Amino acid sequence: MNNLNPRWRGLFVVVAVLVCAGFLLGACGSKSTSTKAGNEGTPKPGGVYNYALGANPVAIEPQQALESEGIQVAHQVFQGLMRYELQPDGGMKAVPCIAESVDTSPDLTTFTFHLKHGVMFQPPVNREVTAQDFVDSWNRVTDPNANSPVSYILAPIQGANDGGYQADPAKGLTGVKALDKYTLQVKLRYPFAEFVQTLGHTVAAVTPVDYIKKIGEKAWALKPVGTGPYMVEKWVPNQYIDLVKNPTYWDKNTAGYVDKIHMPIFTGAESTQTMFLEFEKGVLDYSDVPPGLVRKTLGMPQVTSGKWTAKMYPALAVNWVGMNMKDPVLGKNLALRQAICYSTDQASVCNIISEGVDVPATGIIPVGVPGYRPGQDPYPFDTQKAKDLVAGMGSVPTLNYWFNTDPQGEKNAEVLQAGWKAVGINVKLSNYEWATYLDKLSKGDQDQMFRMGWIADYPSMDNFTYPLFQSANSRVGSYTFYSNKNVDQLLQTARGTADDTQRHDLYAQAEKLILADAPVAPVFFYRDFRVSNTQRVGGYYHDPMGFTDMWKVWVK
C-alpha cells in the first residue's frame, strides 16, 4: 500500500508523511525505546477503551478500506478465511480464521477452503456465514463499477484481470465456487504459492451482500456488518466512531474484554499534537507522538516510571525516492540514477527528521518480512562514488523532486536536497496536494524524482516486488513506470514456487535486479512510535502490519 498521512494500504497509494513515527528494528543513532511495563495482571471484562484515529477514515468496510485508520476499524469488525497473527520471531503469518482448513493442489492453482460451522454475521443480520457469502463478497469487491482500490489482492483468481477487476462482469469471478454450504473452491489464473497468505487482507473478508443490497451502499458504508468481536454502533464523520461488543460473536475464545471502543477522530495539520495533549490529560489510552517530541517523550516521568509505555514498534514498510523511468533525462541515464542513490543521505533523514525512529533502508523489502535479505542495495550512501559519477557526466541538468504537501515531507526533501547538492546534483523542490500529486505521478509526463513508500498489504516479499515493479503494475504501484522482462519472469516464477527457500531466493534475485536498475533510491524502513496508558490498560500491542487486536485489550 502506498503511504501518506494517514498511512494508505494497498497497491493504490503510499507516500510517506507519517508523523515522527516510522517503523522497524534498530535506530539511526538513538537508543531504542524503553518502559517498565511490569506485570499487567489478569484480564477482566468491561469498560471503555479510548483509541484515537489520526484522520477521518476513507471507509471502514472491506471493499473501499485502504488506509491505516479505516483498516484499523475494519480489523475489529470483519473477518475472512484467514487472519494475520504475530509469530514468536516477530513476523506475521496468515492462520485460519473462518476457514477450518485448506487443501492446496500440487500445481498451486486450486485452493479448497473448508469453513467452520456456526460463524454468524453480527446483528441485525444474525445468520450463519456460508461459502456462497464469500463468492458474493469477492464478486462485489471485484465489480469494475465498485472501483475498489484494493481489489488487486484478488487479481490472481480466474475471472479477474491484472487490476483485480472482473474481466467480464457478466460472468464474475469464474474461479470462485461454493461446492456446498461449507466448502469454497478457488481456482487461480496462474500458480501462486502465497495466495493463502494474501487472504488475511481486509478486502477478502466476508460481508452479507444480500443485506447490503437491502439497505443500500450509503447506509452500509456508515454502519457495516461483519462477523468480528466488535460491531459498529455509530460513525459520525470527522468526530468519532464507536464500536460495541458483538453479543452473538461466534468464537468465545477470542471475544473482546472491553464493552466499548471509543475512537475520537483527530483531523487537521495539528491533529497529532492535539491527540497527544488529550492522551496526557487521560482522555485517550493511546496516541501517536508529535514530530520533535520523541526524545522528550522517552524521558518523561510517566514513561520512566512505567505509567506509560512508549515504544518503537517494528513495521513492514519502506520509504524511497522514486525515479520516473519515462523521463528522458533520468530514464536513460543509469549513471545519474546511481549518483542519486549514492548521495541519498538516509542517515540524516533518520537522525534529523525522525529522531532515530526510522531506520536507513538496505533494500526494498524491510526487516520482518519472511525471506528478508540485508544489504541488497548496491548503491549505499557514498558521496565520493557519487561525485565521481557526476564528474564523469560533464554537466547535470537541474532535476525536480516532488513530494506531497506536508511539513514532514518538506523537511525530508530539504535534507535530501542538501545531500544531492553536495555531490553536484542540483534539485528543485515542488509539492502538491495528495490527490493532485497521485494524478500527476500516474501520468508520468512531468515528474522526475518523487517521494513515495509502501506499507505491506500482506506480509510477503511478493508484496514489496510484484505490485510495485512488475511491468504491468509499476505505473501506479511504485509510479516509476519501471519495466524489466527478467524481473517479470523471476517474479512470476517465484509466485509459482512451492518451496519457501527457493521462492525467497527468487524474490531476492528480483529485488537485486530492480535495485541495480535504480528506479528507486531506498531511504528508510519505518517504525511506529506509540504511547499507551499502561496504568489503565493491559493487552495493548501494535503489530508489524500496524494492527491492534483490540479484543485482547482490557481496562484495569
- 348 touches 340 (CB < 8 A): no
Is residue 69 within 8 A of residue 60, CB to CB? The reply is no
Q: What is the mean pLDDT of residues 350-370?
A: 93
| Dihedral Cα 170, 173, 174, 178, nearest 10 deg | -120
- The reported pLDDT for the residue numbered 290 is 86
C-alpha separations of 327 from 15, 443, 444 in Å = 20, 11, 8
Contact 91, 103 (CB under 8 A): no
Q: Which three cell numbers stand for residue 180?
A: 456446498
* pLDDT on residue 1: 63
Q: Grid coordinates standing for 537? A: 490498560
- Higher per-residue confidence, 180 vs 473: 180
Q: What is the mean pLDDT of the chain?
A: 91
Mean pLDDT of 480-495: 97
Give the DSSP H or E segment for 211. helix 209-215
Q: Is the pLDDT of residue 159 over 80?
A: yes
Cell numbers standing for residue 462: 511478493
Q: How far apart are CA 309 and CA 220, in angstroms?
A: 37
Angle between helices 334-342 and 383-393 (to 10 degrees): 150
User: Could you tell me which residues are beta bridge partners of residue 84?
Assistant: 94
- Per-residue pLDDT, 36: 39
**CA gap 5, 16 in Å, rounded:** 7
Residue 312's identity, in one-letter code, is M
Residues forming beta bridges with residue 311, ordered by sequence position: 530
Least confident of 3-7, 32-36, 496-500: 32-36
* Residue 384 pLDDT exceeds 60: yes
Q: Which three cell numbers stand for residue 545?
A: 502490519
Q: Supply the pTM of this predicted model.
A: 0.87
User: Going from the N-terminus, what domains does the chain have, and what CATH number goes with each?
Assistant: 319-345+365-524 (3.10.105.10)
